[in-house]
Amino acid sequence: MGREKSIDVVLLTKNSMEPCLRDCVESVYANVPVNRLIVVDGGSTDGTVEFLKKYPNVVIIDDSGGNRATARQKGIEAAETEWHLHVDSDVILCKNWFQKASKLIRDDVGAIWGVAVPIEKLRYHIAYAMSKFYRMTIRDMLVKQMRSERCMMHDTLIRTEAVKDIKIPRDLHIWEDDYIGRYIIKKGYRFLKVKDPYCLHNVSEKSLDSIVLNGYLMRKYNIWGLKEVLMRFILTIPKCAWIYTVTRDFEAAKLQALIYILTMKGWLSFP
């Protein structure tokens, strides 16, 4: 695929003005040859849709009453270019994102995910502490950590042919990204996870309930088995202690503990 060839970009939104929608969209248009910006909106009331209509070649798809699973499905179905890019509304793409990603395209590649570097303080401190533990840069550590686990969509270039028949289960409104990635792999393609290109991720936990639901879905879809749950249980105290030792950030250590504990709670709640 030539670098000059334009691609569709899928952006999921729902009251997404904060934390960084303007910076997100500006980074897309500055670093990707946009054919159309396909916005799948879940019923925003904060001016998100009105703001995005100011940009060129924007298509708005209403998904009010839907969730991330239905929004991803609609975005994929709307994509018309050979490759299309999924970008979350809380990320900022690095410089020359598409130019770097296009160099990785091969016949057997179905998707390219650029590592998402957290810039929210607590998440960044967790990542920083673990990079010190593994003696790697943060980006290297995050790629290593994600190699054998979840497929994600923060900033993911997808071969449209690889997902043309996908039907995402509606209840996967947290793990829909992993479902898409595993679907691509089952089609015989590789899902690349790379440190360059990358994006900056303004992630924050808005609801503790979402962490519990995350664990529930991980058991329902056999993403975590008993071995993985026990491993997190054993690692909770030493990992949190390490995070505090390195960063002196008690809130970051507490967040890591909550993530593990509430995820396990959700896993155990599955009937």
Q: Mean pLDDT check: name the lowest of 81-85, 110-114, 128-132, 148-152.
A: 148-152
Q: Which tens digit of pLDDT belongs to each residue from 158-177?
A: 999 999 999 999 988 888 99
Please report the DSSP string for 10-66 in residue order.
Answer: EEEESS--TTTHHHHHHHHHHHS-EEEEEEEES---SSHHHHHTTSTTEEEEE-TT-
Is the model's pLDDT at 222 over the cut of 90?
A: no
208 band by pLDDT with thresholds 50, 70 and 90: confident
* Residues 72, 150 contacting (CB under 8 angstroms): no
Closest listed residue to residue 168, CA positions, set 64, 85, 75:
75
**pLDDT tens sequence across 135-150:** 999 999 999 875 557 8
pLDDT at 205 (0 to 100): 57
Q: What's the pLDDT score for residue 204?
A: 65
Sheet containing 7-13: which strands, arranged edge to edge?
Answer: 58-62, 34-41, 7-13, 83-88, 155-159, 109-118, 190-201, 91-93
Percent of the chain with pLDDT over 90: 80
Query: Given pLDDT bands bounded at 50, 70 and 90, which one contains residue 3?
Result: very low
Which of 4-8, 77-81, 115-119 is the least confident region? 4-8
pLDDT of 63 > 70? The answer is: yes
pLDDT of residue 172: 86
Residue 228 has pLDDT above 90, yes or no: no
Q: Strand (E) positions, the chain?
A: 7-13, 34-41, 58-62, 83-88, 91-93, 109-118, 155-159, 190-201
Confidence of residue 235 (pLDDT cuts 50, 70, 90): very high
Q: What is the pLDDT of residue 148?
A: 56
pLDDT by residue (tens digit) across 12-49? Answer: 999 999 989 999 999 999 999 999 999 999 999 999 99
Task: State the CB neighbour count (10 A cutoff) for residue 258.
Answer: 15
CA pair distance 56, 35, nearest whole angstrom: 9
Per-residue pLDDT reduced to its tens digit, 119-132: 999 999 999 999 99
Paired sense of beta strands 83-88 and 155-159, if any: antiparallel
Confidence category of residue 213, pLDDT binned at 50, 70, 90: confident
